[in-house]
Amino acid sequence: MDNKINVEELLGAFSFDGELENITQLHDGHINNTYRFDFREENGELNRYLVQELNTYVFKDHEGLMNNVLGVTSHMQKKILENGGDIKRECLCVYPAKDGKPFYMDGGNRCWRCYNFIYDAHSYQSVENEEVFFNAAESFGRFQQMLADYPIDSLVETIPNFHNTVSRFADFKKAVADNLSGRAEQVREEIDFVLDREEDCGILLKLLDDGKLPLRVTHNDTKLNNVMFDNETDKGICVVDLDTVMPGLSLYDFGDSIRFGANTAAEDEKDVSKVSLSLDYFRAYTKGYLSSAGNSLTKEEINQLAFSSKLMTLECGMRFLGDFINGDVYFKTAYPEHNLVRCRTQFALVADMEKKMDDMKNIVENCRKELGI
């Protein structure tokens, strides 16, 4: 247990039901410190809450972030209730502090928030089969569908230009020019791989500027472990970790899911011959996503699903490479060449996607027709 947590202060800051029975520190996340508080009522009923310290070094605007979270979860809860669902199982619920704010600043200027604990549910750290990937896609698609009519102007950018691929490319070129680590010459082939695809970086943003793609509420961290799955049915029931919810393109979320989940190898696989896009996993995710989000998406969004997978993979790869050239100042590394290995894995996946792009587009079109979208 983190001995820096002031339990008495937190007990006084939020309204919990019952007597405190136990506190468990959870270690799933890499950014925020998370605890499960267990309370027992007089009738024996157990109430569990997630109490989390928000990392204000990573997220400078904690108030804007929590207003984002409160806004989108309140919007989703209305939709869930309209459909006869259970908001405490299907959505994060923000429990305000006693002063009415969606967060609490303690005496040490640490930011805390309180959520519902989702019972009888689990998460996956990696894609185990097509069914799990399909179920995750359904959840992220449902997230997009429920927020399709959300007022975008009310959201703030918690991390500016997070998936702005033109801005990311500019950052990459600066890293190469500055060459802070002196490593640029040893990775000239990888640098050229990125430079040869500069035109790709502006395609989706040009469509946005031309009004051909809509600005959406996006999750921006659509990894598998940000979906909670029901213990009994293994269906995805709730999307969690909403700290990076902000305005963006739905294609960012879709593409990043494919980058993460449809790769046949680990993100830091040294043998790039093992790296490829699983078309079966791509099909499973596409079908699951369109089955729940399809009717809320535009034709152009659907047309760009395959390309977005390549673009998000390219973006991730150039971020790894840029960090390697900068001297490994952003991503945590386990050994000196870790970021280089990571970037090579991403670029191998990009190259394989380019070979399979026609197949990917055909899969999207077949899924669209099959679902009658």
Identify whether residues 206 and 349 lie together within a single domain.
Answer: yes
- Give me the domain span that covers residue 191: 130-370
pTM for this one?
0.93
Residue at 125 is within a domain: no
Identify whether residues 166 and 93 lie together within a single domain.
Answer: no
**CATH code for position 72:** 3.30.200.20
Question: By the 8 A CB rule, do 35 and 54 touch?
Answer: no
Identify whether residues 165 and 191 lie together within a single domain.
Answer: yes
The half-sphere exposure of 43 on its side-chain side, counting CA atoms within 13 A, is 3
Identify whether residues 164 and 273 lie together within a single domain.
Answer: yes
Identify whether residues 90 and 227 lie together within a single domain.
Answer: no
Give me Rg for the CA atoms of the chain: 21
Q: How many distinct structural domains can be found in the chain?
A: 2
Identify whether residues 25 and 56 lie together within a single domain.
Answer: yes
Identify whether residues 66 and 173 lie together within a single domain.
Answer: no
Residue at 216 is within a domain: yes
Question: By the 8 A CB rule, do 324 and 343 touch?
Answer: yes
**CATH code for position 326:** 3.90.1200.10
Last residue of one domain, picked from the residues 119, 139, 173: 119
Residue at 2 is within a domain: no
For the sheet containing 121-122, what is the strand order? 121-122, 227-230, 236-239
Identify whether residues 155 and 242 lie together within a single domain.
Answer: yes
Identify whether residues 307 and 359 lie together within a single domain.
Answer: yes
In the block, tokens 């490479």 appear at 321
- The predicted structure's pLDDT at residue 1: 47
Nearest to 344 by CA among 365, 324, 370: 324
- The predicted structure's pLDDT at residue 113: 97
Last residue of one domain, picked from the residues 63, 88, 119: 119
Identify whether residues 169 and 203 lie together within a single domain.
Answer: yes
Identify whether residues 234 and 322 lie together within a single domain.
Answer: yes
Identify whether residues 257 and 318 lie together within a single domain.
Answer: yes
Q: What is the DSSP letter of 186?
A: G
Using CA atoms, how far apart are residues 131 and 349, in angstroms rounded to an integer?
22
pLDDT per position as a tens digit, 36-69: 999 999 999 999 999 999 999 889 999 999 999 9
Using CA atoms, how far apart are residues 228 and 139, in angstroms rounded to an integer?
9
Tens of pLDDT, residue by residue, the chain (373 residues): 455 789 999 999 999 999 999 999 987 666 789 999 999 999 999 999 999 999 998 899 999 999 999 999 999 999 999 999 999 999 999 999 999 999 999 999 999 999 999 999 999 999 999 999 999 999 999 999 999 999 999 999 998 899 999 999 999 999 999 999 999 999 999 999 999 999 999 999 999 999 999 999 999 999 999 999 999 999 999 999 999 999 999 999 999 999 999 999 999 999 999 999 999 999 999 999 999 998 999 999 999 999 999 999 999 999 999 999 999 999 989 999 999 999 999 999 999 999 999 999 999 999 999 999 9
Last residue of one domain, picked from the residues 119, 153, 171: 119
Using CA atoms, how far apart are residues 108 and 50, in angstroms rounded to an integer?
20
- The predicted structure's pLDDT at residue 29: 63
Residue at 18 is within a domain: yes
